A and B are shown apart, each in its own frame.
Chain A
Amino acid sequence: MRIAILSDIHANIEAFLAVVNDLDPRTDRILNLGDLVGYNANPNECVDMARNIGMHSIQGNHDQAACNPIFAEDFNIFARAAILWTRNNLTDENIHFLNGLEESRRLSCGLACHGSPENTASYIALPFQARAILKKMKKGIWGNINVCLFGHTHKRKVWRMNVRKKVAPVEIPLHGTIRLNDEDLYLLNPGSVGQPRNGEPRSSYCIFDTENNSVTFKLVEYDILSTMKKIVDADLPEFFAKRLLNGA
C-alpha cells in the first residue's frame, strides 16, 4: 500500500492542490496529520477538498482551536488572531467536520498523531523529546507499533531508535527514499504542505510504501504569490505571508 502523508496544510489551498496534483496515481490513501486550518486564508476550501478527496485526517491544535476558541487562549497573539479569523469564516458544516476528527489513529503504517501521541500541542523537535516518545513506543504504551507519524513542527524529520536503544536523527535526502529497518523504531514528520519551516518554501510531504517499508520525501512548488496576496487581502497578519517566501 502506498500512503501519501501530508501535514499542516493550514488553509493554503494553492499548496494543497499542488501536492494532490503531484500524487502518483498508484497512491492508495491520503493521510493528513492535522492542522487543515489556521494561519492562511482558505480554510473552507481546504476542508472541502479534504472531504471531497476522502483524505483521512487527524485533528491538529489549530483545528481544535477553530472548533473551540477556548484553546486559542493558549496561542501566541499572531496564531490567536488567525484562528479567530478562521473561526469567523468557517462554515458550520466544516467546523462540525473538524470537531469530529480523532487526535490519533492506528494505521497499517503506524500511529498517526499531530504533535505527539500524548498531546496534540506537544512538540517532538529536540532529541530528548524524541527519545521520550521512542522509549514509550519501545514499551508498547500505544500497542505494537514501529512507526509514529507526526507533524506540528512544520519541519521534515526522521528520528530512529535502533536495537541498542540509541536515538539519532536520520539524514533525509532532498528528493529521496529512506528504507526503514524492521527492528528499529521511527518517528517520522513529512514537513508542512501549507507553511514549511525548513528554510525551503516548497510544500513538503512523503509517500510511505508499506510493502517495501520505505518513505520517499517530496517537495512541490506552488503559487506562493497568490497565497500571500490572499493573506494580505483577508487582513491576516502580513508576517504569515512573508514567511512563506523563505519557508521560515
Chain B
Amino acid sequence: MMKMKGLKKKGKLKDGTEVLLRPMVKTDRKQLGEFFGRLTPSVLQYVRNDVTDPNVIDRWFDQLDYDHVFPLLAIKDEQIIANASLHRVAHGWRKHLGAVRIVVEPDFHEKGLGTLMINELVDLALEFGLEKLMVEFPLKAHGALAMFKKAGFSPRGVIEGLMKGRHGEDIDIVIMVMDVAAYADKAR
C-alpha cells in the first residue's frame, strides 16, 4: 500500500473559501459515508456505484489500491465536500488512458471546486505517465460540460439514450477526452 503521508495541498474557491485536497485514506470511511448520505437522489442517480449501500463503501476501503484508482478528496471543516478519482489500467491498450469521475456536494457547485479537483487530477495523470484522460456524463449536465471544457477536455461523442434515469427515462451521454501534456501546465 502506497503511503500517503504529507500528500496534501490547500486550494481556494471563487468565493475565497479555503479547502484541503488530499488522497482518500482508510480512516476516511465514516466521513465518506456521511458525504454520500448528504447527497440527494437526483445527484446519486449519476454515481456509478450504489453508495447508499454501506457494503459498497466498505469494499472501496478494503480494496484501496492507488495504482488502480487514485481517490482525491476535498475537505472543509473536517467534512468531505467532493470526491474525485482517477482510474487506471496497468496493462494493455488502455495503459496510457485514465478515466475521471467526480462528485461535488451541491452546496459547492459553481464555486470552482470541481475545476480545482480536475486540474489536480490532470497534473497527477501526467505524473503517473498517462497521456489521455476521458470522462463520460449526461449531456444535460451543463455545469459539468463547462467545467471539463475549462480543464482542457473536449467533447468527442454523444451517445443518445445510452443510460437510464431513476424514473426509467433515456439519458444521452457525452464522452470528453483530453491530451494530458497539452494542458498539464496550463491547468495550474
For the complex, what is the distance from the CA of A176 to the CA of B60, rounded to whole Å? 48
Q: List 22 A-B contacts (CB under 8 A).
A: A76-B120, A76-B124, A77-B7, A78-B127, A80-B9, A84-B6, A85-B6, A119-B185, A121-B185, A122-B185, A123-B181, A123-B184, A123-B185, A126-B182, A128-B182, A129-B182, A235-B6, A237-B2, A237-B6, A238-B2, A239-B2, A243-B129
For the complex, what is the distance from the CA of A76 to the CA of B123, rounded to whole Å? 6
Whether the Cβ atoms of B6 and A81 lie closer than 8 Å is yes
For the complex, what is the distance from the CA of A119 to the CA of B185, rounded to whole Å? 10
For the complex, what is the distance from the CA of A79 to the CA of B120, rounded to whole Å? 12
Whether the Cβ atoms of A78 and B5 lie closer than 8 Å is no
Number of chain B interface residues as a range? 20 to 34
| B186 CB to nearest chain A CB (Å) | 9
For the complex, what is the distance from the CA of A75 to the CA of B10, rounded to whole Å? 11
7 A-B pairs closest in CB distance: A125-B181, A76-B123, A74-B188, A77-B7, A81-B6, A248-B129, A76-B124
Residue of chain B at shortest CB distance from A123: B181
For the complex, what is the distance from the CA of A79 to the CA of B126, rounded to whole Å? 11
| A43 CB to nearest chain B CB (Å) | 16
For the complex, what is the distance from the CA of A8 to the CA of B116, rounded to whole Å? 28
Binding site for B on A (CB under 8 A): 73-81, 84-85, 115, 119, 121-123, 125-126, 128-129, 153, 197, 235, 237-239, 243, 248
Binding site for A on B (CB under 8 A): 2-3, 5-9, 21-23, 66, 120, 123-124, 126-127, 129, 179, 181-182, 184-185, 188
In the complex, which of the residues A77, A78, A235 contacts B21, with contact meaning CB atoms closer than 8 Å? A77
Whether the Cβ atoms of B181 and A76 lie closer than 8 Å is no
For the complex, what is the distance from the CA of A78 to the CA of B7, rounded to whole Å? 6
